[in-house]
Structure 1
């Protein structure tokens, strides 16, 4: 504002000096016009808009990652002067928006603007700047209206094939046997799984069928599923073999975003099917689930998946050990991570042998120990990229698949969020020692 007045006073002083020296109607007109402009600028800055009130509303109320968010703004103020133009700037986390208005004698406005492809997380309005000025723009005024606004962008759920995951539905997995009228409650029976205690074996039904049968525990009967989401930074470091050219980086969703989208899809699938579900992730007391229950998913769980970041301090192997304290044979465990690593794979192999169903959602596979030493050979590393593909039969993922794990390789999440996980199956014997 000081610069505007110094500039205009200098121009007026020059015109006044020329008029005193030379005189003339033209210089008198210019001198009069500059005086009127300064008078208008003074009134605009001294008596400009007051009692500014800005109200914003966000739609949709709970958008998903990648959605467009509409911001509806209602502006009102008081002044007795006509305002030639006005600019309102909203500063959001990660971006800003400017709106040019021509109020004139109007004192309230309504407009809508759009924030495009918002990422997952909490977005807050960090500030607002309102500026106005005269017609030539020589004098301007402004203020910073107070106001708070914010919204949460939920992770976009990733569903397997656009339907409920197989780990949730498990059709035909249990056999319900009804006792007689006086037999009491119904008992659910399934095939014996390694690790089932002898106290749960149904000997009578085993003799009738010719194979061991086990009673289903209450929580397993409710189709219990445990989701383990790795959020340690080491789990999402891009392997050297998976690096892409610098020009192609940033086009796909980050690996951690794909992992969170997968967790959201599994949680919503459990909600729709009525399955008993647990959610474990880092940054929580050891041995305690971030969520445990069935039915409608609480809002706090969606908020947690909205705010979670890859800053965990526990490795995936340690996280699995903490989560496994409540596991029972026959239940399903969905493990979501970025890269497969040997220590966690050995832990999962032990659970597979104990009869726990494992579904592994990953982004990058790595060579199993038997082939990793060979790949460290300089002669191999100096060869073409196809060398890595020649040894994929000996990867960590293939070893877990041969032990019975279901492997899903995650791909970038598209706008519709469907069918972006590829089921991988590997024949042969496991290579994990």
Structure 2
């Protein structure tokens, strides 16, 4: 048993000896020691009652190097002060707090924001920090811990706050001319006059069945009435579809690892195309051979013009990690039956293996407009029938980025 735990017993023993021997001074010392030990122990046991460490972010989604305010509040809602405290809040390794020297952590990928002080009864202490992130990603805030002690410092205690928050940091978004693409019609003229984009919800009429018509186009009721197969004719759709196909592989074999700078270029090019397409009122989607954090599902967002689609797409690109969910060619093959006829498909790749080249060629053969944006010379050398290959700028200047 530690010596500090024996204080009440020692005080009680002195009180008994002093009282029994008729030594009032010894008895008073024993009584005071016992009372002080019991009080300090009780104080330590109730240090964290009705004590809260709250934190709040001014924004949950920011761009790289964009400042965001973090407010931390320590709230003590009891009539028992904390003579001293130390709280620690874990931050992801790529988060920085302006003017703060962050403490190292034994946990890989984290460091600590630390404050020390004292707080009285029914008191609130506030701190405001300015955070920035040097890299895109899904950056962690938390867990947190608080240390304190009784008035004598004899019984220190610690409590943990396991709550986690996250700050989503979008990738850099560039103007298309900065990537070597024309600002106007970077993927060619929009085809007009042809019924390429069709809306299956708007039926214009019926016609005789033609070889090659998909079964879902056949109107079975009209066929039964006429005695011959009849196919539906759809109205042209006013919505243009653009699907970004992102290959996050940077080396041929997974066991070789990955190239960090190349992965960031891929994500930035995809984000730049998506931002341009959303501004040009395309229905934009994303398909990538990656996964969401802590989720065993690939990144797949079908084209949409909903108001929050751009935010969802940038968030998906923010969390792209080097770990793949198979190859992009396999994801494309699974998606082929869902892609609307006449869509514009933009593949972004640093590496174009043979299965991916075959999948892109098949998309082009089905009538889609397919472009390959190559971020490396090796990808730019790909010769794929029906696919336009363009080499985008390899060196991105942060000062030219649009955040």
- Fold shared by both chains (TM-score > 0.5): yes
The Cα shift of 1:110 comes to 1.2
Aligned counterparts of 1:163 and 1:43: Cα–Cα separation in 2:
66
Pick from 118, 124, 139: which aligns with 1:108?
124
- The answer for the alignment partner of 2:95 in structure 1 is none
Pairs within 5 Å for 1:137-216: 139-145=155-161, 148-159=163-174, 160-161=176-177, 166=182, 169=185, 173-174=189-190, 187=193
Residues 222-269 of structure 1: CA deviation (Å, up to 9, x unaligned): 4432210124585686989x98xxxxxxxxx54334323332332222
- The answer for the alignment partner of 1:398 in structure 2 is 381
The Cα shift of 1:405 comes to 1.8
SS at match of 1:405: strand
The Cα shift of 1:328 comes to 5.1
CA gap of 1:116–1:77, structure 2 versus 1, over 3 A, is: same
Question: For the aligned residues, what is the CA RMSD?
Answer: 5.0
- The answer for the alignment partner of 1:296 in structure 2 is 307
Q: Is the 8 A contact 1:49 1:79 kept in 2?
A: no
Pick from 102, 126, 146: which aligns with 1:130?
146
Q: TM-score, normalised by structure 1?
A: 0.56
The Cα shift of 1:45 comes to 1.5
Aligned counterparts of 1:136 and 1:416: Cα–Cα separation in 2:
58
The Cα shift of 1:274 comes to 0.5
Q: TM-score, normalised by structure 2?
A: 0.60
Q: Is the 8 A contact 1:360 1:408 kept in 2?
A: no
- The answer for the alignment partner of 2:133 in structure 1 is 117
SS at match of 2:282: coil
SS at match of 2:372: strand
- The answer for the alignment partner of 1:408 in structure 2 is 392
Pick from 239, 242, 245: which aligns with 1:225?
242
Q: Is the 8 A contact 2:372 2:390 kept in 1?
A: yes
SS at match of 2:273: helix
Aligned counterparts of 2:146 and 2:357: Cα–Cα separation in 1:
57
CA gap of 1:309–1:218, structure 2 versus 1, over 3 A, is: farther
Q: Is the 8 A contact 1:84 1:135 kept in 2?
A: yes
- The answer for the alignment partner of 1:384 in structure 2 is none
Pick from 326, 347, 359: which aligns with 1:335?
347
- Give the structure with the larger helix fraction: 1
The Cα shift of 1:87 comes to 0.8
- The answer for the alignment partner of 2:58 in structure 1 is 59
Q: Is the 8 A contact 2:76 2:120 kept in 1?
A: no
Q: Is the 8 A contact 1:278 1:293 kept in 2?
A: yes
The answer to whether 1:258 aligns with 2:269 is no
- The answer for the alignment partner of 2:84 in structure 1 is 85
